[in-house]
């Protein structure tokens, strides 16, 4: 891999909402027959809040203004349809849900003058207009064809209460309007995922039940000199977004981390996700790609799990830091004295030879005086704006079956709260406009959860275990609450649909607002207990608390001495 590619790839995944993780679970793979998708909207400048578009009837001739999701830039107007559906976050009243990850793809296809539809607009317009996942795919395709595609390469997770699909798209570049795309349905009983790397390779050309695609997805590549070969051998990813070190190490590894939790056969792909991508034949620049140039050791698009997956499993999949692998982010020197599994950006960095014995040997072996290195990019990350688990349940009416388990900030330190997708209003603490990225709100879920997580980063191994315990207890309680609310809502639904909707809306809002209030109090408790490097616990009946000053670990003190020698030695301490 050339480092030029790595730099361009890092640029792509550090754009606004472009470094995201999606996991997809079919009905037959879940423990209760739900369809589930997860999505982490990861961006250093995305403010975590819960969007809401109420169901609306629109007068004839109404126009919809389209703004780029990432920047708020006005892109244009399109005709509004007569009726739009209720959407809560990334899920609508018919249990359709959409998530995304940006993979970028070929640079020459990333720009399209005059295009109106960016990937964010495609998601949220499709949710307002579709009753099924298949319908959402067709709406997205139609909007791109008619109005042009404004973004770079994207992968969408699209689900309803029966099916879950991956749809991958890339624009046609300058000179042609629209995009080329492929959508594949995940077979029932299987699971999939995508994380900033296109994953659809070859696909069936005559199976419209399980695979949909743009009519020119292959012919366009051939006309542009991007591919030569038989249509049946065409690989969307290998032609439009070839996987390389960055695509494997920063992206595919997140999918692998989830896969390995439910399938014991995944270690055979570990070298691949560490960045060792192999090919039968290397591709020569400025020549069409052939099937011999495809990556030959890729993971499958979907796998069959060894066990059924619950909604709480999904929440915990979103909290992975590569624990249990040699890349565990809490184990190397970058984790500091408290095993912090986070690395502050930039994602890649360089080191020059300082003449030391250790570095000289390394640089000599690489035959260079400058080397480039990377931090790991795990699923859980500090810059998450919001994340969710969308749970669609076909055994219930649509009005009750859809639940968006929603959270803001770092998934490892947050709590997923259940929001029914037919809710008619949003919890105040998660409401759009309650604070901004550079505007504080003391009643904002985003700022409350960020206070707790960022405080924990200072002494992770000491503070985070308390967060984890509280998080797991709350989510277990919420799962139990939902079962009771489901029963009550179904009973009401049989006699008064509107009352049932009011019931689930009130629960969604009150539960979420109570969570934020309790989390704010939790922050106060953590701050008092752990401030100034101490650990204080209250002693009933006494003015002063019990005080502990544990310092660092034995191993960390040894590392200090290895680096400082006798600099900090207490004279006469040797015995």
Q: State percent of the chain over pLDDT 70.
A: 96
- Do residues 221 and 364 both lie within one domain? no
Q: Is it the case that residue 494 has pLDDT exceeding 80?
A: yes
Does residue 143 lie within any of the structural domains? yes
Residue 552: the pLDDT is 92
Does residue 148 lie within any of the structural domains? yes
What's the burial of 381, exposed, middle or buried (CB within 10 Å: 0-12/13-18/19+)?
buried
Each residue of 218-234: pLDDT tens digit? 999 999 999 999 999 99
Residues 432, 68, 348, 275: is their CA dihedral positive or negative?
positive
In the sheet that holds 403-408, the strands lie side by side as: 302-303, 191-194, 21-25, 35-42, 384-392, 403-408, 417-420
Which of 334, 358, 374 is the endpoint of a domain? 374
Give the integer Cα–Cα distance in Å for 436 and 427.
Answer: 16
Does residue 411 lie within any of the structural domains? no
Predicted TM-score (pTM) of this structure: 0.94
Residue 65: the pLDDT is 98
Number of H helices, E strands in the chain: 15, 23
- Do residues 297 and 203 both lie within one domain? yes
- Do residues 218 and 355 both lie within one domain? no
Asked if the peptide bond before residue 346 counts as cis, ω within 30 degrees of 0, the response is yes
- Do residues 247 and 346 both lie within one domain? no
Residue 219: the pLDDT is 98
Residue 375: the pLDDT is 93
Give the integer Cα–Cα distance in Å for 314 and 434.
Answer: 28
Given a contact cutoff of 8 angstroms between Cβ atoms, the answer to whether 214 and 141 are in contact is yes
Does residue 238 lie within any of the structural domains? yes
Residue 354: the pLDDT is 87
Does residue 468 lie within any of the structural domains? no
- Do residues 258 and 358 both lie within one domain? no
Residue 12: the pLDDT is 39
Given a contact cutoff of 8 angstroms between Cβ atoms, the answer to whether 240 and 105 are in contact is yes
Each residue of 100-123: pLDDT tens digit? 999 999 999 998 999 999 999 999
Q: Which residues contact 542 (CB under 8 A, 6 or more apart)?
A: none
Each residue of 457-477: pLDDT tens digit? 999 999 999 999 999 999 999
Structural domain count, the chain: 2
- Do residues 67 and 106 both lie within one domain? yes
Given a contact cutoff of 8 angstroms between Cβ atoms, the answer to whether 70 and 15 are in contact is yes
Give the integer Cα–Cα distance in Å for 79 and 116.
Answer: 12
Structure tokens at 427: 């919890």
- Do residues 270 and 346 both lie within one domain? no
Q: Residue 470: helix, strand or coil by DSSP?
A: helix
Does residue 436 lie within any of the structural domains? no
- Do residues 47 and 84 both lie within one domain? yes
Does residue 100 lie within any of the structural domains? yes
CA distances from 57 to 291, 502, 508 (A): 50, 20, 25
Average pLDDT over residues 494-499: 95
- Identify the domain containing residue 355 by its residue range: 342-374
Give residue 574's pLDDT band: very low, low, confident or very high (50, 70, 90): low
Residue 114: the pLDDT is 94
Backbone angles phi, psi at 530, to 5 degrees: -115, 5
Q: What ranges in 158-252 are assigned the alpha helix state H?
A: 217-223, 236-240, 245-246
Backbone angles phi, psi at 201, to 5 degrees: -100, -115
Each residue of 310-346: pLDDT tens digit? 999 999 999 999 999 999 999 999 999 999 999 999 9
What's the burial of 90, exposed, middle or buried (CB within 10 Å: 0-12/13-18/19+)?
buried
Q: Is it the case that residue 519 has pLDDT exceeding 70?
A: yes
- Do residues 356 and 262 both lie within one domain? no
What's the burial of 455, exposed, middle or buried (CB within 10 Å: 0-12/13-18/19+)?
middle
- Do residues 221 and 159 both lie within one domain? yes
What single-letter DSSP state applies at residue 296?
S
Give residue 533's pLDDT band: very low, low, confident or very high (50, 70, 90): very high
Q: What is the distance, to the nearest Å, from the Cα of residue 243 to the centroid of all Cα atoms in its chain?
A: 19
- Do residues 350 and 229 both lie within one domain? no
Neighbours of 259 (CB within 10 A): 24
Residues of 421-443 as b/e, b for ≥16 C-beta within 10 angstroms?
bbbbebbebbbeebbeeeeeeee
Does residue 488 lie within any of the structural domains? no
Residue 172: CA count within 13 A, CB half-sphere: 21
Give residue 575's pLDDT band: very low, low, confident or very high (50, 70, 90): low
Give the integer Cα–Cα distance in Å for 349 and 338.
Answer: 23
Q: Tokens 């388990």: give the residue.
A: 405
Residue 313: the pLDDT is 98
Which of 250, 284, 317 is the endpoint of a domain? 317
CA angle (366, 368, 373) in 5-degree steps: 70
Structure tokens at 506: 């009130």
Give the integer Cα–Cα distance in Å for 393 and 403.
Answer: 9
Q: Is it the case that residue 282 has pLDDT exceeding 80?
A: yes
Mean pLDDT of the chain: 94
Q: Which helix (H) or strand (E) holds 79?
A: strand 74-79
Q: Give the least confident one: 24-38, 76-90, 358-372.
A: 358-372
Each residue of 345-392: pLDDT tens digit? 999 989 998 888 888 888 888 888 888 999 999 999 999 999 999 999
- Do residues 230 and 165 both lie within one domain? yes
């Amino acid at each position: 891999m050339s480092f030029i590619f790595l730099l361009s790839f890092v640029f792509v995944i550090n754009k606004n909402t472009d470094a995201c993780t999606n996991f997809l679970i079919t009905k037959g793979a879940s423990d209760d027959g739900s369809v589930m998708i997860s999505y982490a909207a990861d961006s250093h400048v995305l403010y975590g809040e819960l969007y809401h578009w109420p169901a609306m009837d629109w007068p004839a001739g109404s126009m919809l203004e389209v703004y780029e999701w990432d920047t708020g830039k006005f892109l244009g107007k399109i005709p509004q349809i007569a009726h739009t559906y209720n959407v809560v976050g990334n899920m609508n009243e018919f249990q359709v849900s959409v998530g995304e990850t940006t993979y970028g793809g070929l640079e020459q296809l990333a720009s399209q003058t005059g295009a109106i539809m960016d990937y964010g607009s495609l998601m949220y317009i499709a949710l307002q207009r579709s009753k099924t996942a298949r319908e959402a795919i067709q709406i997205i395709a139609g909007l791109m064809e008619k109005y042009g595609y404004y973004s770079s390469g994207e992968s969408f997770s699209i689900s309803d209460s029966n099916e879950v699909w991956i749809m991958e798209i890339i624009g046609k570049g300058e000179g042609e309007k629209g995009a080329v795309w492929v959508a594949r349905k995940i077979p029932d009983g299987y699971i999939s995922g995508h994380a900033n790397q296109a994953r659809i390779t070859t696909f069936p050309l005559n199976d419209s039940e399980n695979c949909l695609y743009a009519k020119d997805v292959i012919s366009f590549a051939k006309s542009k000199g991007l591919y030569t070969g038989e249509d049946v051998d065409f690989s969307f990813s290998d032609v439009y977004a070839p996987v390389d070190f960055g695509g494997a190490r920063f992206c595919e590894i997140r999918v692998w981390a989830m896969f390995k939790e439910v399938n014991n056969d995944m270690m055979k792909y570990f070298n691949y996700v560490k960045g060792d991508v192999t090919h039968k034949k290397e591709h020569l620049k400025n020549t069409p790609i052939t099937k011999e140039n495809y990556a030959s050791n890729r993971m499958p698009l979907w796998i069959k799990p060894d066990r059924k997956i619950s909604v709480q499993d999904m929440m915990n999949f979103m909290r992975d830091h590569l624990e249990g692998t040699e890349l565990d982010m809490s184990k190397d020197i970058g984790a500091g004295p408290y095993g912090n599994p986070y690395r502050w950006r930039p994602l890649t960095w360089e080191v020059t030879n300082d003449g030391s014995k250790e570095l000289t040997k390394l640089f000599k072996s690489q035959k260079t005086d400058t080397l480039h290195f990377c931090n790991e990019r795990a699923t859980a990350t500090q810059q998450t704006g919001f994340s969710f688990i969308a749970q669609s349940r076909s055994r219930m009416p649509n009005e009750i079956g859809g639940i968006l388990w929603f959270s803001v900030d770092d998934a490892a330190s947050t709590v997923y709260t259940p929001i029914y997708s037919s809710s008619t209003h949003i919890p105040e603490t998660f409401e759009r406009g309650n604070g901004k990225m550079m505007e504080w709100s003391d009643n904002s879920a985003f700022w409350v959860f960020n206070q707790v997580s960022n405080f924990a980063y200072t002494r992770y191994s000491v503070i985070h275990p308390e967060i984890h315990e509280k998080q797991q207890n709350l989510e277990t309680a919420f799962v139990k609450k939902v079962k009771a609310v489901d029963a009550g809502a179904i009973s009401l639904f049989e006699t008064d649909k509107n009352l049932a909707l009011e019931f689930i809306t009130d629960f969604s809002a009150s539960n979420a607002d109570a969570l934020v209030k309790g989390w704010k109090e939790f922050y106060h408790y953590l701050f008092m207990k752990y401030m100034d490097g101490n650990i204080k616990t209250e002693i009933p009946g006494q003015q002063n608390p019990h005080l502990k000053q544990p310092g660092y670990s034995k191993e960390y003190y040894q590392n200090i001495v290895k680096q400082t020698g006798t600099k900090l030695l207490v004279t006469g301490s040797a015995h």
